[in-house]
Each structure stands twice: as structure tokens, then as C-alpha cells.
Amino acid sequence: MEFEGLGLEGQVALVTGGSRGIGRATTMRLARLGANVAVNYLKDEGAAEEVLKACAGLNVKALAVQADVSRVEDAERLVCRILEEFGRLDILVCNAGVWEGAAVDEMKEELWDRVLEINLKGTWTVCRAAVPAMKKRKSGRIVIVSSTAGQRGEAFVSNYAASKGGQISFMKSLASELASDAINVNAVAPGWVETEMCEGVFRDASYRKA
């Protein structure tokens, strides 16, 4: 199913974690709708280049930018690179994230911090960097990819659930804060999706059967 009347031709979209899974699918949909796209990735340059190749026949411009969104300076560099290349940023999809956990009494501080820094802090850093350009144009769309775990919790990944619940609260706050600048902020909360991040779960035959 295609979405008609969205008028994305000429607009510029940034998808963090855009080289795989939900991020890749989102990038490709935006490109098919006419948006120029920037694909953020952390390590897998090859996967990001594959997305660019897939966009090549869609009559849009595509750019891959490496950045660790948990770092403020990387987020700022990411957005600056996009503005240098395209001169604008209309759509931001905050998708970069990790899914790692443990029982609460066995979880190391490093694991708790890593998940919160990438999933929650990483959402803040990129929004912080992108919002000034959107305010200047008095127009923008921000979509945060959260999770049903952020709504109902999930055993053995309390860090992940906390990060995703935090994203939802952050989205609500940002939506109120930026409404007067005509910047729309929303979140989506997918359930289980068979992507590389969750491949271990989907290899479990008993889970698939359930």
C-alpha cells in the first residue's frame, strides 16, 4: 500500500539507524514517496551503502552518514552534514536503538547505561541538533520509534523498557514544546518485528509457534 498526497518530493528526511531493519524499511518508504534521504549508521558502512544503492533508481538524493547518536558532538555533526548537503531538514525519524537486557539483579551498570544512552539519550541528542533548522523554517516532522515495551514493560529487559517509556514521555513533552513552531512530534510503538536486532528470539521455534 502506498500513501498518496503526502507531497514529500523535495523534502529531506533523516533516519537514524537507517541501514537495517525498521530503519531501512522506513528510509526506503520515504524515498519511494519522493523524499531525499540521509541514512545514519554506527558501524556497518556496507549496509548503509546498500540502502543508497537501493535508492539510486528512485530519482531521489541519498546520503549515508556515520555517527554515534549517544554522543552530542556526533549528533551535531550528523545534522550539520545533512544541512550542508541538502540545505534543509524536514523529517526526522529517531530509530537508532539496541535491545539488550538481563535480570534486574544481574544487570551490570554498563549494560543499563548503554541501552539508555543509545535509545533515550540518542533520541534527545538528534532532536536537539535538528530542531533549530526546523524552527527556522517553521515546519518539521519528528517521529520517534519507541516500542510496546515502553507502554507495558517487559521482563528481563527493564533497561530497554525504561528507555522506550522515556521516549514516549519525551515525545509528549516535545510535541507541546514545539507546537507553536509548527513542528509535529509523534511516536510509534511497534511490537515484535522480525529484524536483525531480534533475530535470536525469532530463531526460537517455540516462540514462533506461540
Residues annotated catalytic, as ranges: 160
**Directed axis angle between helix 109-116 and helix 158-178, to 10°?**
30
Closest CA relative to residue 173, chosen from 115, 133, 134, 131:
131
Q: Is 28 exposed, middle or buried (0-12, 13-18, 19+ CB in 10 A)?
A: middle
End-to-end CA distance of the chain: 28
Can you tell me the distance from the alpha carbon of 88 to that of 16, in angstroms, rounded to the nearest whole number? 16
**Directed axis angle between helix 21-32 and helix 45-55, to 10°?**
20
- Give the single-character DSSP code of 3: P
The letter for the amino acid at 161 is A
User: How big is the chain by its Cα radius of gyration, in Å?
Assistant: 17
Contact 42, 122 (CB under 8 A): no
Contact 12, 89 (CB under 8 A): yes
